[in-house]
């Protein structure tokens, strides 16, 4: 599923509020995690590209997809908790092994209502 279809009806914000909405209930932490491997082929190609310098598009695409997956999983988690919004959304990443990265999206699952 695309991010747009996953987030439909779910408000996501990196701030602790959403303009025009009031938080009526704080549910708890929502999170989504993915672990991605940088494949051997991608690492070899990236190594060759690094000789010339510049952006390594294979790693950029992998990082973008990993963040999108983590965000989609966070939205699913928040939705399963009964939330209709997630505020204070952050990303974090850690290297697990030389060729694996863990990407986490997390925030505070809340119920909001439109202010009158």
Q: Mind listing the domains of the chain with CATH numbers?
A: 3-114 (3.30.110.70)
* Confidence band of 1 (pLDDT split at 50, 70, 90): very low
pLDDT digits (tens, 9 = 90+) for 53-86: 667 677 778 889 999 999 999 999 999 999 999 9
The residue assigned the tokens 């051997």 is 40
pLDDT digits (tens, 9 = 90+) for 8-34: 789 999 999 999 999 999 999 999 999
Hey, which bits of 1-116 come out as E strands? 11-12, 21-37, 85-97, 100-114
Cβ proximity of 30 and 107 under 8 Å: yes
Q: What is the pLDDT at residue 101?
A: 86
- For the full predicted model, state whether its pTM sits above 0.95: no
3-state helix vs strand vs coil in the chain, percent to 5: 35, 40, 25
From edge to edge, which strands make up the β-sheet containing 21-37?
A: 11-12, 85-97, 100-114, 21-37
């Amino acid at each position: 599923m695309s991010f747009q279809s996953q987030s439909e009806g779910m408000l996501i914000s990196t701030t602790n509020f959403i303009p025009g909405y009031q938080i009526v209930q704080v549910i708890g932490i929502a999170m989504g995690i993915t672990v991605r491997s940088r494949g051997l082929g991608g690492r070899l190609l990236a190594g060759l590209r690094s000789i010339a310098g510049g952006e390594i598009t294979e790693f950029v695409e992998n990082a973008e997809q990993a963040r999108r997956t983590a965000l989609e999983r966070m939205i699913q988690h928040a939705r399963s908790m009964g939330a209709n919004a997630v505020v204070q959304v952050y990303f974090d990443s850690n290297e697990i092994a030389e060729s694996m990265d863990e990407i986490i999206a997390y925030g505070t699952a809340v119920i909001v209502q439109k202010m009158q």
